[in-house]
Amino acid sequence: MIIEHVINNNIVSSLDGDNEVVVSGRGIGFGRRPGDPVDDSRIEKIYRMDTKEQMGKFKDILASVPPECLKICDEIIADATKELNVELNRNIYVTLTDHVNFALERYDQGMDFENILTEEVSNYYPNEFRIGLKAVELIKRETGKNLRRDEAASIALHIVSAELNTKMSVAYGLTQMVKQIQTILERDIDMSNEETRRGFEEMVPSFKHFAYRVIADQQYQSEDDQLYEFIRDHYPRQYECCTQIEKYVNDMFGKTVSNEEKNYMVMKFRRLDFINKCS
């Protein structure tokens, strides 16, 4: 490979066929210039992105972050890939590296960051949150900087975003929606009842799937108006909860919940005897 651009002493860009790649390795860029061959013996990792835009952003970030930040993020991403057994969107190298670097800068400036969704993230995405906690420990071990638990939640959301192959804002919005759905439903359930509380917790994956379908414009659709009218008329309390959820979704995300989605939710609530007041 031939060096296209020297980003810093440890990182250069090159071409692999027609595709630009970033190559890292200790001293791989030291004293080198564009047009020089890449020293194969120094290559530690080759980074590929899905688009030229991603690659451009990645190079910009690498030019301004310390080498240990990229090393930390590499380890976090490798751990997430192994633990979750999924292929993460490559853009996580851009977003997570930028986020961790900014978090470390805020720490140096004594600026605390509060993630209002930390508890929800820990509940909705326990595996990703566990990886986030390990990441915070890794950061402390490598830099001596003790980031808050809120940062574990933020890192977890970056991982969720890469799993869903979507933007960070979508992962954040999805979590907000699930939280509000729970808040709406809690008004009509008896949380002192252990069986009901357990059923409530078991509903969380359904909430997440619903929220993602709404945000991704992939809602269930049906033209069975008779079924919709039957469910609306025979399960008025459950339907009222769906109406409140739809209002929230429309107010916050500008989207309308389909009749099929409302049918699905109502029957979920009814089958699980989820809303005691609706009996």
The tens digit of pLDDT for each residue in 101-113 reads 999 999 999 887 7
Three-class SS of residue 187? coil
Kindly state whether residues 78 and 128 are assigned to the same domain. yes
Instruction: Quickly state the pLDDT bin for 279 (edges 50, 70, 90).
Output: very low
198, part of any domain: yes
Burial environment of residue 241 by CB neighbours within 10 A (0 to 12, 13 to 18, 19 or more) = buried
Do 163 and 170 form a contact (C-beta atoms < 8 A)? no
In a domain, 54, yes or no: no
- Residue 223's pLDDT is 77
Residue type, 201: E
Both 18 and 116 in one domain: the answer is no
Q: Which of 135, 165, 195 is the last residue of a domain?
A: 165
271: pLDDT confidence band, cut at 50, 70 and 90?
Answer: low
Domain final residue, candidates 165, 180, 211 = 165
Looking at the structure of the chain, the number of domains it has is 3
CATH at residue 91: 1.10.1790.10
Q: Is residue 96 part of a domain?
A: yes
Task: Flag whether 60 is in a domain.
Answer: no
Question: And the tokens for 276?
Answer: 């005691």
What CATH number is given to the structural domain containing 43?
2.30.24.10
* Residue 211 Cα to chain centre, angstroms: 13
Angle between helices 67-84 and 92-108 (to 10 degrees): 130
**CB-based contacts of 85, cutoff 8 Å, min separation 6:** none
- The band of 273, judged by pLDDT with boundaries at 50, 70 and 90, is low
110 domain-assigned: yes
Torsion angles phi and psi, residue 232, rounded to 5? -60, -40
* Structural domain that includes position 113: 67-165
Residue 55 domain flag: no
Task: Give the pair of three-digit tokens for residue 218.
Answer: 């992939």
- Shared domain check, 111 and 27: no
Instruction: State residue 278's pLDDT score.
Output: 42
